[in-house]
Chain A
Amino acid sequence: MSSLVPLRRALPGGGVDGGPHLRIDQPWPPAGLPADPSAALLSARGLRKSYRKGNVVIPVLRGVDFHTAAGEFTAVVGQSGSGKSTLLHLLGTLDAPDTGEIHFQQRRIDNLPAAARDQLRSRQLGMIFQFYHLLPELSTLENVLAPVMISHGVWRYWRTRSHHRRRAVELLEMVGLGHRLRHKPRELSGGEMQRAAIARALVCRPRLLLADEPTGNLDRASGQEILHLLRSLNERENLTIVMVTHDEGIARQAHRVVRLVEGRVEET
């Protein structure tokens, strides 16, 4: 908990001790958010996705409609196998739907060429995963800088390295890892690794953060810390977050909960 002090200090009136800054019982849409789905930051329509195993076709998404507005914190919940991670991968352009469309900032992204999708992921989207997915060979600081290195060429990165490094250190200090810059992922706890992954996801100032079971591999206290961090980011930075989780309690802390049942949306 102590590692979150800088963030708590940065958020007026926020913090675990002072209660959540956003009330979970706030009515949808919250004030200031667009009620019109066409004004959504991210929207998906009629998404279908199946996987083929030998001759057997396993449908995972069976026509999902989804949207999230800028600054919204959306939770996608569902049981295992309901297709929530697949939906997140499609929204994050890691995979392509069989049918349907995905729009990000009014621009269709599901049919973009590979290079454009790579660029989108590295510059506009941030992603965090259940198993943190830090690169084990790199230090915490290098892991946070990795998206910048990917999105910048060698010379461009070299010219602006001090600026990026400063931002990465600031982010790591914000998530309470200012003292762990040189540590390798294997030297960090699960909570610390997830916080490092969040810092990495934020380093390129994304418009949208996609979180796949960010607390799924953590104990309750660490999970709460991460959740608090995400909510604070949403509130302070107006960061749009789509979080996949199977925990109803965690999902309830989002502005909006989208329930997936057998590949279909049951919005609540």
Chain B
Amino acid sequence: MYKLLLCGRYLRTRYIALASIVSVTLGVATMIVVNSVMGGFRAEMHRRLHDILSDIVVESHSLEGIEDPEFVQAEVRRIVGADLAGMTSSVHIPAMLSFQVQQQWVTRQVNLIGVDEETYARVSDFGKYLLHPENRGQLNFLLREGGYDARLQEAGWTHRRRRVAYQRAYRQQQEQARQSFEAAQTSFGEEPARPAPPGPGPPAEMTPPPAVRPASPAAEPTRFQPARDPFAAATGGAEPVFDEMTQQHTGIILGIAIASVRQHTADGGVADFFLCRPGDDVKATFPTAGTPPQAVSDAFTVVDLYESKMSEYDSSFAFVPLRKLQQLRGMIDPRTGMASVTAIQIKLRDGANLDAVRDRLRERFPPYEYRYRIETWRELQGPLLAAVQMETTILNILLFLIIAVAGFGILATFFMIVVEKTRDIGILKSLGAPSGGILSIFLGYGLSLGAVGSGVGLILGLLFVTHINQIADLLELVTGQEVFDPTIYYFSEIPTVIHLPTLGWIVGGALLIAVLASVLPALRAARLHPVEALRYE
């Protein structure tokens, strides 16, 4: 009882000891904030990665793909059994995407994904990141009349018709200008020839070149020549009756960062400036499935944009219908009609053991017999997830060192308190207090200090986390420096996750350090000789 009483009294009366635990408080609060923010980013990233990648992916090593996907799917169904929630086939290939911005062709490197409209939504939450609300419910590669995200202002058929009308008017204007220019040049070329000099005329080879320049633009283009489609030759130009005003090419869904640039506005906000939007046409160039691969191009109409807020995905993913991509790449066997795919995505029911299912599939399709690999979504994003995990671990180690430094502060303060309390220790011993009791007083005191320090740190940390966005705004206001740049992270707010076990080990670790720091001074106190302690001045 005397131990509790003295611990309580020392806690209330030794303010210097309380000062020594400020660093414990700050360390605990910082660790909670950092872990919550890192955890928030990681959870958001995991969610988005998982949403896109499904649970397990059977991926072909080559771009030619898995030749008999139906067999593989049947085997997967048999092996996975009741754990299977959905499965889809897809084609993933690198591609170059080109579109016109201000009459100039812009080319982007993309990851072109052919998806099956019917089954892709069952294995992936890809749909919920589309900008058109109707496409979120059911994936569709047809251009909508309107109703797109408000940021796009004008998109869909409305935008397409207006754009085509404008382009036609522009081309007509250019054509007229060209004709007038040619007419002017023709009349200049046809003006009466100057009288021939006396004597025989010049030999034929000395005849001056005709005043009119060759009409063929291919020979020497003029500045008034209308813009040509450089992809016409690649695609064979075999779409003579295609009416852009009423028809669309095969639909394509682009990652929002491919089609836009995110910039700060004058008022300090953030806005997306769209380079192309639903209703515009793009050209995609990608390799065929043969060996060696040939480049093939085709025109697509942007039907929607995709915003997962994962910059890696938003700046590289473009989705097209699976069947069309298989046709263009020559992945359909003309004899059997069987279409190959480069990946089979598998979604398991909630609670299924991913690694166990993966192992069963690997056992059925060993890598030395089959030309594809079987991996979970975590393995596919292994380097990224490992990098984030390592970053978190290192940060935690560094931050824990702050608390360890605080531990040395407690150690020094405790030694001072033990010296100050030497006579009290002698009194307690003279009254019959055992050495273990004295040890308990100082260990309990260290534990109490740790509990107060980490408790206050816990409260401060949680308050900070719950108001982190307001604090970021305040810091921006005070320092003028942007704390959280939404153009980089694609999040409007700093994501945070309060993970109770993490809070537990942070507080537990701080308590342990405080107790460990008090062990040496407590031992010293316990070993004091009562007579020497009583005589201490």
Binding site for B on A (CB under 8 A): 89, 92, 94-95, 114-115, 118-123, 127, 129, 133-138, 142, 146-147, 149-154, 157-158, 200
Contact = CB atoms under 8 A, between A and B. Distances in A.
B30 interface: no
Nearest to B433: A150
Interface stretch (B1-9, B137-145, B311-319, B512-520): B1-9
A220 to B, nearest CB: 25
Given A133-B427, A137-B13, A149 B5 contact: yes
Contact of B5 (A118, A142, A153): A142
12 contacts: A121-B430, A121-B431, A122-B431, A129-B430, A133-B423, A135-B428, A137-B10, A138-B5, A146-B428, A149-B2, A150-B437, A153-B1
Contacts of B424: 135-137
Most buried by B among A149, A151, A153, A200: A149
B434 interface: yes
B434 A94 contact: no
A147 B435 contact: no
A147 B434 contact: no
Most buried by A among B1, B431, B433: B431
Nearest to B14: A137
Interface in B8-59: 9-10, 13
A150 B437 CA distance: 8
Contacts of B6: 135, 137-138
B531 A95 contact: yes
A152 B9 CA distance: 20
Given A135-B424, A151-B432, 18 more contacts: A94-B429, A94-B430, A94-B531, A114-B435, A119-B432, A121-B431, A121-B432, A133-B423, A133-B430, A134-B427, A137-B6, A137-B13, A138-B5, A146-B2, A146-B431, A152-B1, A153-B1, A154-B1
Nearest to A123: B432
B423 A157 contact: no
B530 interface: yes
B534 A133 contact: yes
Q: Is the interface of A mostly helix, strand, loop or mixed?
A: helix
Contacts of B1: 149, 152-154, 157-158
B432 A135 contact: no
Contact of B431 (A95, A115, A147, A153): A147
A94 to B, nearest CB: 5
Interface in B416-464: 423-424, 426-435, 437
Contacts of A122: 431-433
A135 B534 CA distance: 12
Contacts of A149: 1-2, 5
Closest 4 CB pairs of A and B: A122-B432, A137-B9, A149-B2, A121-B432
A147 B428 CA distance: 8
A137 B2 CA distance: 12
Given A133-B534, A135-B427, A152-B1, A114 B434 contact: yes
Contacts of A94: 429-430, 530-531, 534
Most buried by A among B1, B10, B531: B1
Contacts of A153: 1
A149 B437 CA distance: 11
Contacts of B428: 135, 146, 150
Interface in B125-144: none
A150 B423 contact: no
A25 B530 CA distance: 37
Nearest to B434: A118
Nearest to A89: B531
Contacts of A135: 6, 424, 427-428
A211 B437 CA distance: 25
A61 to B, nearest CB: 13
Given A157-B1, A158-B1, A150 B534 contact: no
Contacts of A200: 431
A129 B529 CA distance: 17
Contacts of A118: 429, 432-434
